[in-house]
Structure 1
Amino acid sequence: MAPLVLDAATLRRVIVGFHGGLADHRQVIDNLNVYPVPDGDTGTNMTLTMKSVVESLDGVADDLEPLCAALAHGALMGARGNSGVILAQILRGVSGVFRDAAAAGSVPDAPVVAQALAAASDGAYSAVARPVEGTILTVIREASESAQAAAAAGGGLTEVFDAARDRGYDALERTPEMLAVLAEAGVVDAGGAGLLLLFDACLAEIDGRPMPEAPEPSAAPAPAAVASEAVPVEESSIADLRYEVMFLLDAPDPSVDGFKAAWQQIGDSIVVVGGDGIWNCHIHTDDIGAAIEAGIAVGRPHRIQITDLLDQAAEHSESFMAPDEPVAGAGAEPPAAVEITEDDRCSVVAVGAGAGVVDILMSMGAHRVVAGGQSMNPSTAELLAAVDSLPTGHVVVLPNNKNIIPVAEQVDGETERMVGVVPTRSVVEGISSLLAFSPGATAAQNSEAMAAAAGSVTHGEVTQAVRDASSSAGPITTGDWLGIGPDGIAAVESDVAAAATALLDTIIDDDHELLTVLTGTDADAATTGAIVGHVAEHHPDVEVEVTEGGQPLYPYYFGLE
């Protein structure tokens, strides 16, 4: 007979089972990204986020209140990538309702579980000002609606989780109908696909049914069934809104809706995450004063960070996260350290992979280098550990990968230090930003100056396709070499040199004077020489500097200034 309540021991087993399910399906989800590059990340990031949650439960008694507190904290600290951040919000909503039930002396039954899923949906949606349907948000919302209906009809835990699972899978299949970019690529949302394994894990514990088996990676479905993680926020043009304003806000929870409404009148790209009186706030706006005054009207804004976006390169136009796959041993690289003097007010934490990349970042002024990037997304906890290891009161973080930016933004709320995040999307942007670093300035001052420096660089990279696909640059066959620029895939060629030179011909303009080439582990001298020769012949006014980066998966990183 299925249990009537979800006690602490069962919840622990569900979390462990969910992590196991994600681990089993990780490779398949990672391989099924809309961009056919060898670093799919959705399954990896969700798996590593849940690994942190499982580890956070070690040593915690089978008591709902402390278990749920550890669950929420572990998700926040372990969140990796956009999918991990949203998953952390969902788990926070569930754990909050369960904790309240335990505090009232009860154990979650079917109605409480349905209420928890509703809170999870509300929490995920409330994290962004303009949610976009066709993402993980749609999946959790529709699943929670069916769970509530099942509970209202008198269903038990099995009926509630069955309803959530069935409606969730139905919503997942319909995500391309809701989001044009998914329909155009013939994909469904990968974040939603990963989330549904949570309901499978619940049913495995409640009534003993087996977890779904992951198909062999080689048996991945055709592009029409491919999964890709869509960003659940509405994108805006950075050219339209000049400033990025971020701060922590101490304010009572009921006042935050009014605060967000005020912000919606003055900007875009609004994200407000938190609860229990502390909120992490982000907006793009032309009116800095109004953005801060809206916070003052409801509470106390602090750790204010302002970045001038005018000179920054526009974000990639695609509506999904660039994929990442971990490389064996990538996490074993220890943080690097350089000397900090007594007069220094601010220091830098950067993310990078490859011995050469680490050496360059250190030589340019980074004080800690956390292993990660295109090969692995570090967790909030790993970035926090690097930040807290530094003696300065102000720290700047360089994510150097767009997947890592939302994770880095979680660090500020977990430390007493003033943390500024420069939204660098590539290693070459991070290197360029370090030219503007001043150890005597504040994190906010450095963030603004370093963001402007990063925005002066045009970046590109070359990698190899891991599956057949289509692109604006033409059809892609497994094994093709791809040249990827600021606006996505710009070149598809049969050999790496052709892809690199075609990409450079696309992104070099008359204003560029210097090309920096970072060679990866798969680069060879002959190919590098051919690339340098091509630039000398076709772009004679551009000076070329070649440096060994040692990065995995991408034989070439390019930076143009």
Structure 2
Amino acid sequence: MPYPLDAAAVRAWCGLALEALGRERARIDAINVYPVADGDTGTNLYLTLESAARAVEAAFDGHAAAGTAPRLADALGAMAHGALIGARGNSGTILAQLLRGMTEVLAATDGPGGADADALRRALRRAAESAYAAVEHPVEGTVLTVATAAAAGAERARGEVVEVARAACAQARTALRATPGQLAVLGRAGVVDAGGCGLVALLGALADALSGEVSAAPVAVRADAPLPVAAGSAAAAGCGAGDPPDAEGPAFEVIYLLEAGDAAVARLRTRLDGLGDSLVVVGGDGLWNVHVHVDDAGAAVEAGIEAGRPYRIRITHFGGTARMKEPEMAARAVVAVVPGDGLAGLCAGAGATAVTTRPGEPPASGELVQAIRQAHAREVMLLPNDPGLRHTAAAAAEEARTEGVRVALIPTRSAVQGLAALAVHEPARSFDEDVVAMTSAAGATRYAELAVAERQSWTMAGICQAGDVLGLIDGDVAVIGADLARTAMTVLDRMLSAGGELVTLVLGADAPAALGRRLERYVRERHLAVDTVVYEGGQHAAPLLIGVE
């Protein structure tokens, strides 16, 4: 029997959509030729929905703990927010905006029995319109076209809310099958749009959640299905899904969450549009997800810093400016987890794929597996740069190995150890020799960080009070002080008492502007034979990271 469109239906929708994308993501990855033929659209959609589903479950858990039941607005709001903060790639970012558009309508029409058929019609139209507005240069034959067709199908449908969902899915599927005739790159490759394929899966899951019956038909048009294309097109002439397009484009994909106002985001759009392509900015109410392809990743991040507060920055190197259906596999690559945008820029500049974290939000193993895939290399050096990520990184490495990638987990416990390992990385060496060299460089680097105590507590250096500056050496509190610079000097003296040739200082987002110069001068005066380098790391958890080699 049909079910109402309420909070329980949203929960069921998330679960069914995740199952559908899990089944279809490899096929969707395989037909990904636009806007970048990097074979990850299915995976990006899956990871985005996974984040949305986690948020919905958290909302239900929170209401259960309070002894209340979530309403439709609660579940949909959680789903949209989860997708926004977890959006991956161009497709995941657009999906987040589609969900936000639906939420804007359905949350406002939430009644005791959930939303009605008319509300769903208006929600799907709003979703399509908001997605178009989020993409700087919309292109037909993509997920945007499929979303618009879904809205039109819903508006023509009569009956209950489940019939509207079914009609939207059916019209989306029809529109999807026509995409090779609308977008030349799809026609040449003989495939449908990958993002649109994922949207059909999502709409099919919604119809299933409302009907209570899982459809026996495939939830997505498969890459190997016969595709109607325009007569005379390359696909009609015999080109198959394996034929690569000749497109070229920027070398980096940059994604970050941004806390900023509407006016600042409008200026950011203009700035990023001049830097690259595939620009999508979604969100609102002070929180945005920014996606762009650029050659200058640092400039894209700097533009975000000027607009507001960017975090969870992900910079992916496409492996060169040529973008092909099957990206040329590099011999060896490095994937590094880092806690700040400045560190991400340093890693990207050295050719590594960076996964940026935020305090309290460590990456899941799936994120690291995706980063390893996006490195497009036969061999990968994985730098977790945090002892707390050891098990997560090990699980990611093991999964990547099952896909044929040779992965070495370099035991870096801090970002400064990761920088030391990256500095000696040499792809021309044998894999084993490179592992030994990077591991040795990391192990030869003592690390420290300065943090501010949040509460009174016992430490190995004694009792600290809230607001005290803590100097942690190799993970243990060694110094308690009242002043950031003086505590850092004490930490440096202790670390250099055992010798050292190079000090690396990584300044956090909240570090005083003159701190780096002051500490560099202190090392030069007190430890004459030691060199010092200073980086703007941008990390928020610690105002200063220190490495001694």
Q: TM-score, normalised by structure 1?
A: 0.48
Q: Which has the larger radius of gyration?
A: 2
TM-score by length of 2: 0.49
